[in-house]
Amino acid sequence: MAQFSSVKRDPRSFLREEYDKLVSQDLDWRIRILASSNGPWTVVSGKKALMLCSNNYLNLTNHPKVKKAALEAIEKFGAGSGSVRPIAGTMQAHVELEEALAKYKGTEASLAYSTGFAANAGLIPQLAGEGDLIISDELNHGSIIDGVRLSRAERTVFKHRDAEDLGRVLNDAEKKNYKHILIVTDGVFSMDGDIAPADEIAKLAAQHGAMTYIDDAHGDGVLGDAGRGITSHFHIEGKVDVEMGTFSKAFGVVGGYIAGSRDLVNYALNKSRTWLLSASHPASVVASCKASIEVVEHEPEHLKRLWENTRYFKAGLRKLGFDTGASETPITPVIVGQSSTARKMSDMLFDENVFALPIVFPMVARDKARIRTIMNAGHSQADLDFALQAFEKTGKALGVI
Ligand SMILES: *Cc1c(COP(=O)(O)O)cnc(C)c1O
């Protein structure tokens, strides 16, 4: 047997130390386990609870057509795809999804990635490199931040949703002679539910010869005509160079994508390592995604219910005296202050059979801890009244209202 000489320091001790530190600051994740599908009500930690923290906005994860598409695709194409997309992992189902998506988004072409995270991490670093500049909204999603970190481009931020500040950054950039400038922003910001001024951003980008990239993960299926997303919301179709999104939220399945010009897609599929080197989705997944798009287009009632619920619930929270921040979408934060208060409130809500998670530092500022709620088209008004009663009770008990 090999002899290992002893070393003074345990190279693994940091694992426990870091974890203990997170626990002591109330910043660790405590995972709750679902014993049913992710719907307006669910069974979580052994208890039936009203779901307020799912991204399944339109409840499509439970839609019969979306489920049936997966079952049929498994029968035809098998359980796995067997390869990466460029080798032997592009099945008819993948191509059909990309054609359907491009048509839905009104773009020349689209490209499916395994996840939204993989799209951002794989494509952003290929769109700007040495001698280029990436300009980000300061509150962009972590997957954008990681994508930017993988690039050799210079990087800078503009103030959150502040087109004037973006103009200032672009004016400064003119003096530096960058080859390319890429402006990246979330469409809907996932922690606050506010919307990027995409119209003004697109206009500034055109004036300065910059390229635009909007991550519409929380806008697709939610904003605009038939959920076509932020470009439809602002009537700026065709004015955003890269429309990136995900099937894991309103579409109720999983998978990232980009939509834009044919040139963009040809470039992206040849350059994104997360696309080239990671297995493609099983056909069941992409078939479900395609069915989801069809449902969103042809059954407008889901989107209508989502927005009715959103207006009703937001108004109810505000009437109770809660601070719901700057939200303009079905993502409604209930800002409570300290992370320990948010934690406590989430636990108390769960005692009342309401499942809503705290969002704490580092995802939001230390003093802006919150319960983040997300509406679902499958909630009834009685469900929302039930939730509002629980918020009133726990909010009063904790002195939040
Ligand atoms: C959820 C989210 C992603 C990641 O999408 P996945 O498909 O779940 O990987 C990327 N960007 C934003 C803004 C998101 O909210």
Alpha carbon of 229 to ligand 1 centroid (Å): 14
Protein residue with its CA nearest to atom 3 in ligand 1: 116
Mean pLDDT, rounded, of the chain? 96
User: pLDDT tens, 342-353?
Assistant: 999 999 999 999
pLDDT tens digits along 193-231:
999 999 999 999 999 999 999 999 999 999 999 999 999
Q: Which residues line ligand 1 (CB under 6 A)?
A: 115-117, 120, 141, 143, 186, 190, 215, 217-218, 246, 248, 256
Confidence of residue 1 (pLDDT cuts 50, 70, 90): low
Question: How far is the centre of ligand 1, averaged over its atoms, from the C-alpha of 363 (Å)?
Answer: 14
Q: For residue range 118-134, what is the model confidence (pLDDT) as tens digits?
A: 999 999 999 999 999 99
Strand order in the sheet with 242-246: 109-113, 256-260, 242-246, 211-215, 181-186, 133-137, 154-158
Q: Give the residue, out of 143, 248, 249, 374, with the most ligand 1 atoms within 8 A of its beta carbon, to mutate for a pocket test.
A: 143
Q: What is the pLDDT of residues 62-95, one digit of tens each?
A: 999 999 999 999 999 999 999 999 999 999 999 9
Does residue 5 carry a pLDDT above 90? no
- Beta strand 47-51 pairing with 354-355: parallel
Q: Exposed, middle or buried by CB within 10 Å (0-12, 13-18, 19+), for 206?
A: exposed
| pLDDT for res 27 | 78
CA 148/CA 56 separation, integer angstroms = 28
The pTM of this model reads 0.96
Cα(198)–Cα(123) distance, integer angstroms:
20
- pLDDT value, residue 346: 96
- How far apart are the CA of 401 and the centre of ligand 1, in A? 32
pLDDT of 3 reads 67
Catalytic annotation, residues: 190, 218, 249
Residue nearest to atom 14 of ligand 1 (CA): 217
Residue 363: pLDDT above 90? no
For CA atoms 99, 105, 108, 113, the dihedral sign is negative
Query: pLDDT by residue (tens digit) across 13-43?
Result: 999 999 999 999 877 888 999 999 999 999 9
| Cα of 328 from ligand 1 centre, angstroms | 19
3-state DSSP percent of the chain in helix, strand and coil, to 5: 45, 15, 40
Mutate to test the pocket of ligand 1, among 114, 117, 244 (most ligand atoms within 8 A of CB): 117
Helix residue ranges per DSSP H, 128-246: 142-149, 163-174, 198-208, 230-233
pLDDT for the residue numbered 362: 83
Residue type, 282: P
> Which atom of ligand 1 is nearest to 144's Cα?
11
- Over the stretch 333-344, which tens digit does the pLDDT of each residue have? 999 999 899 999
Nearest to 373 by CA among 342, 337, 340: 342
155 — pLDDT class (breaks 50, 70, 90): very high
Q: Which residues of 322-346 are buried (b: 16+ CB within 10 A; e: fewer)?
A: bebbebbbbbbbbbbbebebbbbbb
Domains and CATH numbers, the chain: 13-51+300-397 (3.90.1150.10), 63-298 (3.40.640.10)
Close Cβ partners of 129 (under 8 Å, ≥ 6 residues apart)? 151, 152, 153
Summarize the confidence of residues 258-274 as an average pLDDT. 98
Question: How far is the centre of ligand 1, averaged over its atoms, from the C-alpha of 147 (Å)?
Answer: 12
User: In this predicted model, what pLDDT tens digit does every residue of 162-171 receive, in sequence order?
Assistant: 999 999 999 9
